[in-house]
Structure 1
Amino acid sequence: MTGLWGRVEQQDFRSRVRGALLGSALGDALGAPLAGLSLDAIRAAHGPDGLTGPAPAHGRRGRVTAATQLTLFTVDGLIRAHVRRDTGAWHPPTDLHRAYRRWAATQHDWGPDERRKDNGWLAQEEWLYARRGPERACLTGFADEALGTLEQPKNPTARDAAAASRSAPFGLLVGWEPALVLQLTVECAAQSHGHPGASLSAGALAVIVHGLTRGDSLDSAVQRTLGLLGARPGHQPVTDALQRALAAVTQGQPGAEAVEALAPSEGDAEHVLAVAVYCALVAEDVSHGLRLAVNHGGDSAAAGALCGALLGALHGETALPAAWLAELEGRATLLEISDDFALEMTQGPTLHNPAHSAPGWLTRYPRFSRASGQ
């Protein structure tokens, strides 16, 4: 794939990578202040139009939740997987699990362990060492070295949207075929969320992002995703939710009531996905779509994160609201890892190969860790 990238294609890809990751974080931060609130409570607190812009959560405006933390470690794990391929070792789910274990350390350690050079640069970011409402399934799923698999998933009843909320980066693997993107995402989701509604929603989100990053329309990306989902056991709730989202586009003016109708439960992943897809389809611009996505009684932060990833991948970085970006926690880290991911995907063999590697890149993304036993 690397040899096919021209300068314009590289710039477009980098813009979409930045758009997806920053957009997801913006939606996450926008929805964070609304956690646990019904639509009536949101309107009572923020006025009849609901929340219309960033509000304080976790101490200030622009603060992100565990969803963005985990998304960053997803990107880190994907880069590390590609770097480790030089060694002949190629099992991305293991590399993602190790990345999520590094996230788990941020949830109980006081700060970075300077002695762990094999952790790479992301785990040295001090601002990530804060607990921001992680779902219990994530904490238990990544609590030990045991790798959840599709045959033996962790937390088989966990159906919330936390796995989907961290899964947009899988869709940025544009050199992969969509079916492989779906398979990898579902395998990695099962490391914490074993219910098919949760793991397949994560996979569906990734495949839609994959289509958008390749230049498809949102409708086309959803249709392709529906085709791939049909072959997976337990797909029907996710398929039905996506089809309801598509149908809702033609059923009246976009608004909070339409969003509420797509989210009959407070947090089932497929309903959160449906809200995100609907809001992205009807969005006049990114800020409009994100406002729609968070103003409902369900999981506002997750819906915002998913919708932001979709709109960012669709439109690129420059479509994101600049005033919101200015206040976004971790913006510099998000930009740095976005550009590293784009560099790895477009120029990886020039950065590292079995014969020669750039030392700086291997310092940032080490091939081995103590957890690997190598």
Structure 2
Amino acid sequence: MIDTDSARGCLLAGAAGDALGAPVEFRSWQHIERDFGPRGITDYTARGGYGLGAITDDTQMTLFTLEGLLRARERGTDPVEEVRLAYLDWYATQGGGVARRSGELVHDERLHARRAPGLTCLSALGKIAAGQQEVNDSKGCGGVMRVAPVALVAEPEASDREVFTLAGNLARLTHQHPSGYLSAGAFAVMVRALVASASVEEAVEAGLAALREVASEGDRGETERAVRAAVSLARTGVPEPEVIEQRLGGGWTGESALAIAVCAALCAPDLREGVRVAVNHSGDSDSTGSLTGNLLGARYGAEAIPPEWLGPLECRDLIEKLAERI
């Protein structure tokens, strides 16, 4: 079993990155810089319709992923099926018509807040709730942003290939383009390496190795190139937001979000700076902040999270309880 502090760090820092980036998601870097200065947003703000420290669908779905995986472990049932049911619970919190409630999180009213939920996730889960087969070609980042718990719940004897495959299968429930689910597999392997005390560099290479082992060259090419570009950019130091956008994109797709998180985690001296780099660009700031927080929180533990980020963090108590169950 993994160290509890690594699990707490991964989940809490992911939520903190989500909360930091949420108010500036969809905003251009020019507007962010105008409102917050040359370093961009560095602390929680209540702007953008969000309360101070408010989480979004990124953290919500991460917690439902974790609930499904814990239920599968406790019952000895299929983790993909249990997480599918957990996602239907999340869909119900967003107003979706689901007759059956399978878990406990669905009854927490805080998780019923609608925080710009991903349209692909809503559409796919709507079809699943209606008993239909979801078929799409989406590579949005809604698959990768929620799978960190796969690394936290994995048994010690599980191989990286098994961790990669499970995370990819969970992402494929809603995102079926290779870059939408292979990025999720690579990310889960990176988190797993970090909770086992690997360096960020080692974790990235572990994720790439698993990607090459599992996926064909044609399927993995886009994700592999994006991660390699992130590694190359990080070697130049902390990049400016415009450079992140030019080289890695806006984080809207799975491979782009993973690349920004990898770059931020590699180039920054600490968790605070890594998350700051990850959210300050013209793109999906809450998702890239969440992924970077997952990575660096897994590596450095909860103590690395700025106390002023932890205090007002929405659902902190719930995250702590789920971390203890791991």
TM-score, with length taken from structure 2: 0.92
User: In structure 2, how many angstroms separate the alpha carbons of the residues matched to 1:109 and 1:224?
Assistant: 38
Deviation for aligned residue 1:266: 5.6
Match of 2:147 among 155, 167, 174: 167
Task: List gaps (5 residues or longer) in structure 1.
Answer: 342-374
User: In structure 2, how many angstroms separate the alpha carbons of the residues matched to 1:284 and 1:195?
Assistant: 34
**2:198 is matched by which residue type in structure 1?**
D
Which position in structure 1 is the counterpart of 2:234? 249
- Secondary structure of 1:72's counterpart equals helix
Deviation for aligned residue 1:38: 1.2
Deviation for aligned residue 1:330: 0.6
- Checking the alignment, whether the CA contact within 8 Å between 1:58 and 1:132 is kept in structure 2 is no
Distance of aligned partners of 1:256 and 1:92 in 2 relative to their CA distance in 1, 3 Å threshold: same
- Checking the alignment, whether the CA contact within 8 Å between 1:263 and 1:298 is kept in structure 2 is no
CA deviations over 1:212-270 (Å, ceiling 9, x no partner): 11111111111121111114031111000111111112224443234223333561211
**Superposition CA RMSD, Å:** 2.1
CA deviations over 1:11-68 (Å, ceiling 9, x no partner): xx10000001111100111110111111111112222221121112443111111111
Which position in structure 1 is the counterpart of 2:69? 78
**2:14 is matched by which residue type in structure 1?**
S
**1:132 is matched by which residue type in structure 2?**
R
Distance of aligned partners of 1:242 and 1:40 in 2 relative to their CA distance in 1, 3 Å threshold: same
Deviation for aligned residue 1:159: 1.5
**2:221 is matched by which residue type in structure 1?**
Q
Deviation for aligned residue 1:177: 1.3
Which position in structure 2 is the counterpart of 1:59? 50
User: In structure 1, how many angstroms separate the alpha carbons of the residues matched to 2:317 and 2:151?
Assistant: 22
Which position in structure 1 is the counterpart of 2:179? 197
Alignment of 1:197-216 (within 5 A): 197-216=179-198
Which position in structure 1 is the counterpart of 2:89? 102
User: In structure 2, how many angstroms separate the alpha carbons of the residues matched to 1:59 and 1:82?
Assistant: 35
Give the ranges of 4+ consecutive aligned residues of structure 1 lying more than 4 Å apart after TM superposition: 145-148
Deviation for aligned residue 1:109: 6.9
1:134 and 2:117 are equivalent in the alignment? yes
TM-score, with length taken from structure 1: 0.81
CA deviations over 1:274-293 (Å, ceiling 9, x no partner): 11011011122111111100
Match of 2:276 among 287, 291, 294: 291
User: In structure 2, how many angstroms separate the alpha carbons of the residues matched to 1:279 and 1:336?
Assistant: 28
User: In structure 2, how many angstroms separate the alpha carbons of the residues matched to 1:255 and 1:53?
Assistant: 18
1:281 and 2:266 are equivalent in the alignment? yes
Which position in structure 2 is the counterpart of 1:358? none
Match of 1:119 among 97, 102, 107: 102
User: In structure 2, how many angstroms separate the alpha carbons of the residues matched to 1:202 and 1:193?
Assistant: 10
- Secondary structure of 2:143's counterpart equals helix
User: In structure 2, how many angstroms separate the alpha carbons of the residues matched to 1:201 and 1:329?
Assistant: 27
User: In structure 1, how many angstroms separate the alpha carbons of the residues matched to 2:96 and 2:310?
Assistant: 28
Deviation for aligned residue 1:121: 2.7
User: In structure 1, how many angstroms separate the alpha carbons of the residues matched to 2:44 and 2:13?
Assistant: 13
Distance of aligned partners of 1:319 and 1:193 in 2 relative to their CA distance in 1, 3 Å threshold: same
Distance of aligned partners of 1:79 and 1:35 in 2 relative to their CA distance in 1, 3 Å threshold: same
- Secondary structure of 2:139's counterpart equals coil
- Checking the alignment, whether the CA contact within 8 Å between 1:71 and 1:165 is kept in structure 2 is yes
Distance of aligned partners of 1:251 and 1:155 in 2 relative to their CA distance in 1, 3 Å threshold: farther
**1:139 is matched by which residue type in structure 2?**
L
User: In structure 2, how many angstroms separate the alpha carbons of the residues matched to 1:273 and 1:327?
Assistant: 27
- Secondary structure of 1:142's counterpart equals helix
**1:161 is matched by which residue type in structure 2?**
C
Deviation for aligned residue 1:194: 0.7
User: In structure 1, how many angstroms separate the alpha carbons of the residues matched to 2:205 and 2:298?
Assistant: 17
Which position in structure 2 is the counterpart of 1:17? 7
Identity of aligned residues (%): 36
Which position in structure 2 is the counterpart of 1:158? 138
Which position in structure 2 is the counterpart of 1:315? 300
